[in-house]
Amino acid sequence: MKFPTVDEFKAEANLRNNARNEAVKEVSAAGLTTSQRKDIWQDKKAALKEDVKALRESNMAKSKTPTQGTPIKKALIASYGDESHVTIVDDVLPPPAKEEVQVKVLYSGFSGSDINMRLGQYPFQRPAPLTPGYCCVGPVIALGPGAQKFKIGDMVCCLSVYDTQATLANLPEKYTVIVPEGIDIKAACALILDWNTAHGMVYDTAHVKAGQKVFVHGMSGAVGWAISVLSAHEGAEVYGTAGPRNHDAVRQGLPGATPFDYSNKDWIAAMKKIGGVNAVFDPIGFESWDESYSILAPKNSMLVGYGGNMSNFTGEKPRSMIPPVSKLYARNYLKVWEGRATRFYYITRDDKTFFPALEHMFELAKSGKITVPIKAIYGMKDDEEIQNAHRSWGKGSGVGSLLIKVNDE
């Protein structure tokens, strides 16, 4: 079976959209009877069927013409919506460009960013159609002109942001790093995104210190677990929320941590009873940020927001992040009187702390001071496998990161 390429997918979608718009315009004309409208609609449907058939035959003929590059399979979010909007398609990857390396992707990260990109609500995201894959790990198989940092066969990882839920990917050399000896490649994929995101919040934003109290929403998730572990590593008391099915796993993986059920709100009274906490890390956003702000200690405390996942948990219609983020920052004007600060954190590979933080994570992992659990690994051999990953997000048991297996090791 031949999967459609991205261009073929877009061409057929455009053909269908144009035909629909033309049909709607004609049947909406004044003076037509119901029977006439029905006839026009049926004629347009028949014509569209023939046009689609002709387009597909043309695409099949073109596919027999050699194209420079390497055939690949990749995940494609063709348009926004539920998990049916992500599919596996055929495409051709060109040779790596200047200062790029081509990597055989073994694993790609899977996180809330995939879900939000599919819904069209990830901050500053590339418009659909797009191929997700915020991070990846795999061996270098080709070098672009001027690429000198690596050699063929080097195992590397990269914060790619897009395009690595694909069997091959061309990556900017400057954002790609060697996986150190002694680091499991699956752990490396989690470290460069999930743990590096956590590092930026714990060390560079909230500046968590020994003796402080921190509260982590989603503490069994990929970033939430990393925040919890790093905060405990620094000597902080760790509280947070997690699904009740994961409470035992949280306690076993991080003795001394105290998980609550987010939905019953007991955590609000419990944290106020102990005088509040020094830092709250909240990826849920919206009304949750109001609740999180309420449990901050009166002095020298900070709420760090780093997502707007409320609709992913409640099933409600996605809302704009602009109002809640604006409100989050506006709270800083109260800091003079209240001593409580707010921040919104967004990881970027261009930040000067990005690579030093990753090196720190590698050192902690190599020395055994942290372990990097992988909660689940999903496949992408066909539509069902990749759609299952999206369907399953937020529903699994245990703690840690999620990955997509792209190629065999």
Alpha-carbon span 266 to 247, nearest angstrom: 15
Alpha-carbon span 143 to 150, nearest angstrom: 8
Give the pLDDT of residue 55: 75
Three-state SS for 59? helix
Q: How many CA atoms lie within 13 A of 306 on its CB side?
A: 27
- Going residue by residue through the chain, which has 409 residues, state the pLDDT in tens, using 9 for 90 and above: 455 666 776 677 666 767 666 766 665 665 666 677 677 767 777 777 777 777 777 777 665 544 589 999 999 999 999 999 999 999 999 999 999 999 999 999 999 999 989 998 887 888 999 999 999 999 999 999 999 999 999 999 999 999 999 999 999 999 999 999 999 999 999 999 999 999 999 999 999 999 999 999 999 999 999 999 999 999 999 999 999 999 999 999 999 999 999 989 999 999 999 999 999 999 887 688 789 999 999 989 999 998 766 555 656 666 666 666 666 656 666 655 668 888 888 899 999 999 999 999 999 999 999 999 999 999 999 999 999 999 998 888 899 999 999 999 8
Handedness of CA 115, 116, 118, 119 (dihedral sign): positive
Give the pLDDT of residue 2: 54
Three-state SS for 395? coil
Q: What is the DSSP letter of 346?
A: -
Give the pLDDT of residue 306: 87
Distances (CA, A) of 8 to 14, 82, 86, 172, 319: 10, 22, 15, 27, 32
Is residue 14 within 8 Å of residue 47, measured between CB atoms? Answer: no
Q: Write the class of the CATH domain 71-191+374-405.
A: alpha beta
Whether domain 206-344 has CATH 3.40.50.720 = yes
Alpha-carbon span 297 to 282, nearest angstrom: 16
Count CB neighbours of 336 within 10 A: 7
- Secondary structure tally for the chain: helices H, strands E: 14, 16
Alpha-carbon span 226 to 218, nearest angstrom: 11
Give the pLDDT of residue 20: 65
Three-state SS for 113? helix
Is residue 262 within 8 Å of residue 271, measured between CB atoms? Answer: no
Give the pLDDT of residue 1: 47
Three-state SS for 405? strand
